[in-house]
Structure 1
Amino acid sequence: MTNRRSFLSGAALIGAGMVTKAGAASLPEAPQQSSPGSSAATAGPLAPPNGRPYNPVVTLNGWTLPWRMKNGVKEFHLVAEEVEREIAPGMTARLWGYNGQSPGPTIEVVEGDRVRIFVTNKLPEHTSIHWHGQILPNGMDGVTGLTQPGIEPGKTFVYEFIARNAGTFMYHPHADEMAQMAMGMMGFWVTHPRNPALHAVDRDFVFLLNAYDIEPGSFKPKINTMLDFNLWTFNSRVFPGIDPMVVRKGDRVRIRAGNLTMTNHPIHLHGHTFEVTGTDGGWVRPSARWPEVTTDIAVGQMRSIEFVAEHAGDWAFHCHKSHHTMNAMGHDVPNMIGVDHSGVAEKINKLVPDYMVMGDKGGSMGGMQMELPENTLPMMTGEGPFGGIEMGGMFTTVKVREGLGRNDYKDPGWFKHPQGTVAREWTGELPPAPRAPNAPAAAAPKPAAPSGHQHGHEGHVMEVKRDGAHKH
């Protein structure tokens, strides 16, 4: 996944707060992702090869940044650069990130570690890095113009501080934030407790919530979008491109998420209850926790949830804002449910060949396949063992299985349900449906629409032209 032989050389390194020319030769290597598709897989935990011991995390559709130890200091090298990221199979975005990926690789350290991070800028404009949630010297806080000059293109800066507090953090620019964060510049940071037994869990997953507005057929996000994003992502991936979180039955599981979108996200887990055990401000005291199945993560916040995986199965895990579990959405589309389209398609087809009327009976696309513009995704997609899952965006699964190895994170396939435990069609006699007192009689159903009509998401009327472009 990474090319650990990739080194940076030849950078012009001068000025206060920057790496000197004499020191350039001693830069630690900057591991890189390989190709956009292959680098999107979830890497296994990176066991610490040196330094203090800790229980490593697993980055969903990502990886942990290797380091080197030099005179007792843990040294990392981040490269801010243009990257390509596969959002899901069939769509690639041209983003900004670190070390070949957006989000950048996760940084893992231990409470009390002295950390030195070299940051090389290969972007066309200046940048910086803010270490969100860290308690550190003011001049290392990474706010361009306030605590440091910007890192100009081609330059390398060095940040050095002690990781004082164990917890869940992130890193991102404080330079031209609207553009740089909208382009995907962010990464996860975990500071582990000095005592590995403290807050220990069996499996520990991390990812960031981010969002993009990428028009069908294009590759770069629109950076001025404030709310109308069409791709809501976990670690710059959308369903069905988001890997499942695979756990053993009986494992104590932690999931850590940080929100760098422009809105809040109520994150919901099926089949289990959990507790919020940590924020970017620290660990939540046990006496302050309560059981939940959904926790809201506001903009700029980190949340850690924990639960015991007691129930085997493929359990959905997603944002509970329904529009955040769809891809490539159109906006300002009227609701056409119940509208009689009799004869409409036939008349319009004479003027616009391949026109399809959709949405008169609801949003489900069923098994309909349409030609899409280049580099975009269907709104709802993904196949499960019982048919279309009809999800996108911020959706994945927690797959709980018995008998997995301690470090086995391979996708085990779909859950094999015990006999008699799957919802099924009822073919017997139906009792009368109870009604509220004085409830009016149900209206007679309207005649079904003529055959040949197709349905689209939430009443979409969609024109599909011969060149494959579609309008919602």
Structure 2
Amino acid sequence: MPMPAAEPVGVAPAVPRDPRYVPVRTLNGWTLPWRLNAGVKEFHLVAEEVKHEFAPGSKATCWGYNGGTPGPTIEAVEGDRVRIFVTNRLGEHTSVHWHGLILPSGMDGVGGMTQPHIQPGETYVYEFTLRQHGTHMYHPHADEMTQMAYGMMGLFIIHPRGGEIVPVDRDYAFLLHNWALKPGTWRPDPSIMVEFDQWTFNSKMFPAIDPIVARTGERVRIRAGNLSMWNHPIHLHGVEFEVTGSDGGRWPRERWRREVTELVSVGQMRDIEFTAVAGDWAFHCHMAHHTMNAMGHGIPNQTGVDQSGVEARIRKVSPNFLPMMRYGMAEHQEHTDGGHQGPVNTTPMMGGKGQFGNMEMGGMFTVVKVRDDIARGDFTDPGWYRHPAGTVAKRVSADPDFGSPPRRQV
């Protein structure tokens, strides 16, 4: 049955300004408003079914918080007292675990162990004092396999009480996740353990993922949390970044280390920081199959085989047929102007177009866009980078035998 149209997405509510920190910008997301009640910051989360679009052409009925997946980011300051109301609008019980937070055992959110389950229609309240700073998460600790597979998760950012010795100008955050949305279906499959076909930053696949925008020379922090079922080597082009923190908070400076790829393991958080350099820079998981959309499994390897006319004939009896092409998967990009279009409710496997052609990327991929003239505090997508003259690789010959490159003698 066709899935109902996605509900319109409104503007995120305004968040009270806390002058003690630079607010986090959540990719494709928003920050949960709070109110101050007798010195306590009060938040309200609602667990519910949501209509979600992973990228144009791929929608699903998921579960999340406050109308989306992931849920809104909670931001507060070390030392704050917080009170979080959780209303359950699901058809089954739930709970909320505050991943990595130091708090009383009865507030830890393990259903059946540290608290009764939150039954459908009920509202529970969690209240505790924030005793640390760092990048954290929240997610259910009840029927986890289903509820997390459907998208129930969110970020919990705690800023240091005394400010930061090395301040940042821009602070970004997102969660890594994997999904099994079988072709032609409208709900993720929670029974899949390994063969996921959609990989996301904050429940979005490239090219629907927001870019990371900065001004040349600004110090940028990116916080990544992993609630998927795989480990992800996250790679940034163009700079050597510093790994500066985790769910254990911002590390002492002597522990910072320079990298270009950082492994974010399952259940972990990692913070990286760098000085922005002008250009368009790829930022992605370095597992190649995690930068694809609607990825098929077990496709017969036809590389090197002339399949002229075969695909069209097979599609007459098997409309969802997708072969490996004679010279590689890039042929799908060339023949379909943006990637092979699969069955209903799927996106091209390697979508996204750049200023020079098809980018052949999807999934866990976005672009860090740095410009000299971006105003501080402006997060608007500036479009593609205008490269200075003489700084773009160019063709010098169309002859495959050009020059005399050395070859190893066998």
TM-score scaled by length of structure 2? 0.92
Contact 2:291–2:362 (8 Å) recurs in 1: yes
Matching residue of 2:116: 149
2:42 partner letter: E
Matching residue of 2:300: 334
CA displacement at 1:212 relative to structure 2 = 0.7
Q: Give the distance between the partners of 1:92 and 1:128, measured in 2 at CA.
A: 26
1:317 maps to 2:283: yes
1:213 maps to 2:180: yes
Mapping 1:119-198, distance limit 5 Å: 119-198=86-165
Matching residue of 1:432: 404
Matching residue of 2:58: 91
Matching residue of 1:457: none
Contact 1:37–1:86 (8 Å) recurs in 2: no
Q: Give the distance between the partners of 1:184 and 1:350, measured in 2 at CA.
A: 36
Q: Give the distance between the partners of 2:81 and 2:121, measured in 1 at CA.
A: 26
Matching residue of 1:455: none
Matching residue of 2:392: 422
Matching residue of 1:19: none
CA displacement at 1:366 relative to structure 2 = 2.7
Q: Give the distance between the partners of 2:316 and 2:201, measured in 1 at CA.
A: 43
CA displacement at 1:351 relative to structure 2 = 7.3
Matching residue of 2:197: 230
CA displacement at 1:348 relative to structure 2 = 5.7
Q: Give the distance between the partners of 1:91 and 1:351, measured in 2 at CA.
A: 24
Mapping 1:51-90, distance limit 5 Å: 53-90=20-57
Q: Give the distance between the partners of 1:256 and 1:350, measured in 2 at CA.
A: 47
Root mean square deviation of aligned Cα: 2.3
Q: Give the distance between the partners of 1:360 and 1:98, measured in 2 at CA.
A: 45
TM-score scaled by length of structure 1? 0.80
1:200-252 deviations in whole A, cap 9, x for unaligned?
20000001001110012211100010010110000000001001010000010
CA displacement at 1:435 relative to structure 2 = 2.2
CA displacement at 1:332 relative to structure 2 = 1.2
1:298 maps to 2:265: yes
CA displacement at 1:126 relative to structure 2 = 0.6
CA displacement at 1:37 relative to structure 2 = 6.1
My pick for the range that moved more, 273-282 or 353-362, is: 353-362
Contact 1:341–1:357 (8 Å) recurs in 2: no
My pick for the range that moved more, 110-119 or 352-361, is: 352-361
1:215 partner letter: K
Judging changes above 3 Å, is the alpha-carbon distance between structure 1 residues 323 and 48 closer, same or farther for their aligned structure 2 residues? same
Q: Give the distance between the partners of 2:305 and 2:372, measured in 1 at CA.
A: 49
For residue 266 of structure 1, the aligned residue among 233, 246, 259 is 233
1:410 maps to 2:395: no
Q: Give the distance between the partners of 1:185 and 1:330, measured in 2 at CA.
A: 25
2:359 partner letter: I
Contact 2:302–2:323 (8 Å) recurs in 1: no
Contact 1:37–1:85 (8 Å) recurs in 2: no
Q: Give the distance between the partners of 1:247 and 1:424, measured in 2 at CA.
A: 27
Aligned to 1:179, the other structure's residue is in SS state helix
Aligned to 2:50, the other structure's residue is in SS state strand
2:54 partner letter: I
Matching residue of 2:3: none
CA displacement at 1:344 relative to structure 2 = 4.7
CA displacement at 1:373 relative to structure 2 = 2.8
1:433 partner letter: P
Contact 1:96–1:183 (8 Å) recurs in 2: yes
Matching residue of 1:444: none
Contact 2:320–2:343 (8 Å) recurs in 1: no
Q: Give the distance between the partners of 1:83 and 1:313, measured in 2 at CA.
A: 36
Q: Give the distance between the partners of 2:406 and 2:280, measured in 1 at CA.
A: 34
Contact 2:109–2:115 (8 Å) recurs in 1: yes
1:426 partner letter: V
1:364-383 deviations in whole A, cap 9, x for unaligned?
12332355432211101111
Q: Give the distance between the partners of 1:79 and 1:347, measured in 2 at CA.
A: 50
Q: Which has the larger radius of gyration?
A: 1
Contact 1:55–1:196 (8 Å) recurs in 2: no
My pick for the range that moved more, 93-102 or 423-432, is: 423-432
> How many residue pairs were aligned?
399
For structure 2, which runs of at least 5 residues remain unmatched after alignment?
A: 1-5
For structure 1, which runs of at least 5 residues remain unmatched after alignment?
A: 1-34, 441-472
Matching residue of 1:253: 220
Judging changes above 3 Å, is the alpha-carbon distance between structure 1 residues 198 and 162 closer, same or farther for their aligned structure 2 residues? farther
For residue 106 of structure 1, the aligned residue among 59, 73, 76 is 73
Judging changes above 3 Å, is the alpha-carbon distance between structure 1 residues 125 and 351 closer, same or farther for their aligned structure 2 residues? closer
Contact 1:256–1:304 (8 Å) recurs in 2: yes
CA displacement at 1:120 relative to structure 2 = 0.4
